[in-house]
Amino acid sequence: MIRASAFGCAFVLLVAGTQLSAQELNEKTYASRRTFLLPKPDELRWEKIAWRPKLWDAVIEAHRVKKPILLWTMNGHPLACT
């Protein structure tokens, strides 16, 4: 089952790759490419959240304003402070 699904995914990617054509980047296409690649305002809403890099600072503030805490954990520092 896993083999069939892996083969199916590989086939779809292969077919899709042959259908895509590279567009030339020049002065005429630059603006549309840039607009397409830049994040939209609704994709940047997460930047307005007052993130706290230290848990204890968040605990104190959450207790003061009576709000919950979202604890984000991952392998590595989320702010790339390694």
Claim: this prediction has a pTM higher than 0.75:
no
Between CA 75 and CA 69 the distance in angstroms is: 19
Q: CA geometry: angle at 42 spanning 36 and 46, to 5°? A: 115
The pLDDT of residue 57: 93
| Cα→Cα distances 61→26, 55, 64, Å | 50, 10, 5
* 69 contacts 58 by C-beta, under 8 angstroms: yes
pLDDT number for residue 50:
83
In tens digits, the chain (82 residues) has pLDDT values of: 455 555 555 655 565 555 556 778 898 899 999 999 999 999 999 899 888 889 999 999 999 999 999 887 777 776 777 6
